[in-house]
Structure 1
């Protein structure tokens, strides 16, 4: 896809494709052209999960919404975006009981199994893709260094969850967590805030100056974790998913 308007794309071909920011569109004609180019690309690649994200102002534009309907997109999720500066983030202390294991210390099968377990009972909108396909898409999106982001968390040698810190592609210092989650039996016990804070520390060590995180509007526990670790909400966005699959 040509990207001359500042459009931000998360490309996990062949499993998912997300336009996270539509950039500097000046007219409905630009939006129509963007959607047409995207459709040509995802049909050619046979991409299974296709989404486009709009901010509040864009989602209030009825012309945009009508055009999305024409292309067979439907609103799937409302997300809250949080931010935290990391430059003044203090040296992390207090998570000594959590042991982080890198991808090299475990098997790919164990990581995928852990990821699958953390998705059970999640309050965010469910993915249409299996974890195996999400994993393949993640490798495509993050590139050759993807393994550095595949971390598992243990307490007393018992797996409690995973975290996937990385520097957002196309930036030099924006920290993101590709995925973050606890196994169901460890939720509601304070471990989420602890692991999240440790993840922010890891992002700072990677060179992140700030962190951007997002969660669904129904996921109150995750919102509380953001707040507990000094993250502040700064934007609400709306995810629209294509109601078709290309194989």
Structure 2
């Protein structure tokens, strides 16, 4: 039984996410994670970032982890198209004339000033992770939102690894000058429609508990709170 999803980036880092399975005891999770932690230590990886239920927090701190923050997860069923705004157009990077370097600059603008506390990567590492985690066709998953031809946001809708129809947004963001004007909710609705088109039946989104703006977007677009997890990290 798979109790943790793990993304491994060479010797730089491991990203580990607890998989909630009904009926699995806390002790079973801890035993499974102990084995994973030993592998991380033996492979001399730079750091390990973990998403795990806060009931394990005291035990994790005893293992040498420190707490970064808490995330909240929201979900909804994707059972029909949501209303989109005609003034906003969407374009996949694969169909665009935009260079990867310009897309990276747009990505950096969208994530600047974020309320999320778990800032792990440089923009160079982010761009590298797109191909590593999404594969050679990653540009087909990257969408830009434009208003009057100007790029004002982006979204990367994907099917969660290891699932058949769970939709996630690898990243979602709005450029600073368009924040606080309702565009985030509009872009999010478009993203949910994109997820449905690639076969997602449900959507799961997460953000830092301090990111009240993103939480309001979830709620405006019919998502409900599903879970809370702590973000923990350990460095070699």
Q: Which residue of structure 2 aligns with residue 174 of structure 1?
A: 166
Q: Which residue of structure 1 aligns with residue 105 of structure 2?
A: 113
Cα deviation digits, residues 145-188 of structure 1 (max 9, x gap):
32222111110011111101011111110100001010110000
Judged with a 3 Å threshold, the aligned counterparts in structure 2 of structure 1 residues 109 and 142 are, in CA distance, closer, same or farther, namely: same
Cα deviation digits, residues 42-101 of structure 1 (max 9, x gap):
x2xx5x553011113333xx333311x1xxx21112000000111x22x23332211112
Following the alignment from structure 1 to structure 2, what is the Cα–Cα distance between the partners of residues 131 and 14? 18
Q: Which residue of structure 2 aligns with residue 36 of structure 1?
A: 38
Q: Which residue of structure 2 aligns with residue 18 of structure 1?
A: 15
Contact 1:11 1:137 in 2 (8 A): no
Q: TM-score, normalised to structure 1's length? A: 0.85
Contact 1:161 1:182 in 2 (8 A): yes
Cα deviation digits, residues 19-57 of structure 1 (max 9, x gap):
11167562744432221112334x2xx5x5530111133
Following the alignment from structure 1 to structure 2, what is the Cα–Cα distance between the partners of residues 66 and 151? 42
Q: 5+ residue gaps in structure 2?
A: none
Residue 116 of structure 1, CA deviation: 0.5
Contact 2:158 2:170 in 1 (8 A): yes
Residue 12 of structure 1, CA deviation: 4.2
Superposition CA RMSD, Å? 2.0
Following the alignment from structure 1 to structure 2, what is the Cα–Cα distance between the partners of residues 15 and 99? 37
Judged with a 3 Å threshold, the aligned counterparts in structure 2 of structure 1 residues 121 and 64 are, in CA distance, closer, same or farther, namely: closer
Q: Match for 1:99 among 89, 106, 110?
A: 89
Alignment of 1:128-167 (within 5 A): 128-167=120-159
Judged with a 3 Å threshold, the aligned counterparts in structure 2 of structure 1 residues 35 and 170 are, in CA distance, closer, same or farther, namely: same
Contact 1:54 1:239 in 2 (8 A): yes
Q: Which residue of structure 2 aligns with residue 64 of structure 1?
A: 60
Following the alignment from structure 1 to structure 2, what is the Cα–Cα distance between the partners of residues 56 and 184? 32
Q: Which residue of structure 2 aligns with residue 6 of structure 1?
A: 3
Q: 5+ residue gaps in structure 1?
A: none
Higher mean C-alpha deviation, range 183-192 or range 91-100 = 91-100
* Pairs aligned (count): 229
Alignment of 1:167-206 (within 5 A): 167-206=159-198
Following the alignment from structure 1 to structure 2, what is the Cα–Cα distance between the partners of residues 84 and 22? 18
Matching of residue 54 in structure 1 with residue 52 in structure 2: yes
Contact 1:82 1:212 in 2 (8 A): yes
Higher mean C-alpha deviation, range 181-190 or range 117-126 = 117-126
Judged with a 3 Å threshold, the aligned counterparts in structure 2 of structure 1 residues 114 and 13 are, in CA distance, closer, same or farther, namely: farther
